[in-house]
Copies of this chain bind each other. A is one copy, B any other.
């Protein structure tokens, strides 16, 4: 015998417990959903394992010995432990448990992610989520090093430690006050923007580069009135007619209202966001469930 558990089995323990609790092998069999001879033999094998009789047989019935009653407590505890394992496994299987850490741009959280996360938490009531915002560079590292479970980031993205799944794309729009002369057009061309005061954001980022090169190719100089870092701020100044903000429609959508109109820019400039996880280990179940939920929400609701 290498280990004291070699011949011990959970079934024997269950049978033993059931006999103690029902005072009969026949009743135990019923409660376990097996037949009486099965219970008799499971008991015999447990008795053989411990090396002494657990019940004395009298008048064709079973009566627990003192030893059996002494063992019963421990057996009960162990079986409860085993049941906890099964329950925990079930919760994990249903992704009903855990702490999901997500990193995403602030405006992405306030915009497309808000409803998705809300729904996900409703579907998995015991799950906790932490949502943080960092610079794209920091976000990449946090995800790659698995300090967080997943993130959303603007594409393209080719960090070697990341797995990237495109999840959402949107167009670039001009956000402007209804009072603005261009506000009645159903699209705004790049040429319309010549000499218009602009509100731009994301200096140094890919999307900004795209805009820059668009103007460059059309040989139009940009009249930058204000540079900022968030879509919310850009929109709030556009609303005050300080100029025209060039923003991601997906993120600006939440600010469109009576005092702010969004008009597509031509030529179209698409933004694409990706779901990122570490390539060093596969997604855990909760992250996988969240990813699927995102795909469904984004493609279904789009």
Contact = CB atoms under 8 A, between A and B. Distances in A.
Interface of A: 2-5, 8-11, 13-14, 32-33, 49-52, 56, 63, 65-67, 70-71, 74-75, 77-79, 81-90, 92-93, 97-98, 281-282, 284-285
Given A8-B85, A81-B81, A89-B51, A67 B2 contact: no
Given A4-B90, A74-B85, 10 more contacts: A3-B14, A4-B83, A8-B10, A50-B93, A65-B281, A67-B92, A70-B88, A74-B81, A78-B84, A78-B85
A74 to B, nearest CB: 5
Given A5-B86, A8-B86, A50-B92, A67 B284 contact: yes
Contacts of A87: 4
A129 to B, nearest CB: 15
Contacts of A52: 92-93, 285
A51 B93 contact: yes
29 contacts: A3-B14, A3-B33, A4-B83, A4-B87, A5-B10, A5-B79, A5-B82, A5-B83, A5-B86, A8-B10, A8-B85, A8-B86, A9-B9, A9-B10, A52-B93, A56-B282, A65-B281, A65-B282, A65-B284, A66-B98, A67-B284, A70-B88, A70-B97, A71-B88, A71-B89, A71-B92, A74-B88, A78-B78, A78-B82
Query: What 9 A-B pairs have minimum CB-CB distances, sorted nearest first?
Result: A78-B81, A4-B86, A2-B33, A50-B89, A66-B284, A51-B93, A74-B85, A67-B92, A56-B282
Contacts of A66: 98, 284
A98 B71 CA distance: 12
A14 B5 contact: yes
A4 B93 CA distance: 14
Question: Chain B CB within 10 Å — which of A8, A51, A89 has the most?
Answer: A89
Contacts of A284: 65-67
A8 B285 CA distance: 21
Contacts of A281: 56, 63, 65
Contacts of A90: 4
B82 A70 contact: no
A146 to B, nearest CB: 9
Contacts of A86: 4-5, 8
Contacts of A10: 5, 8-10
A38 B66 CA distance: 38
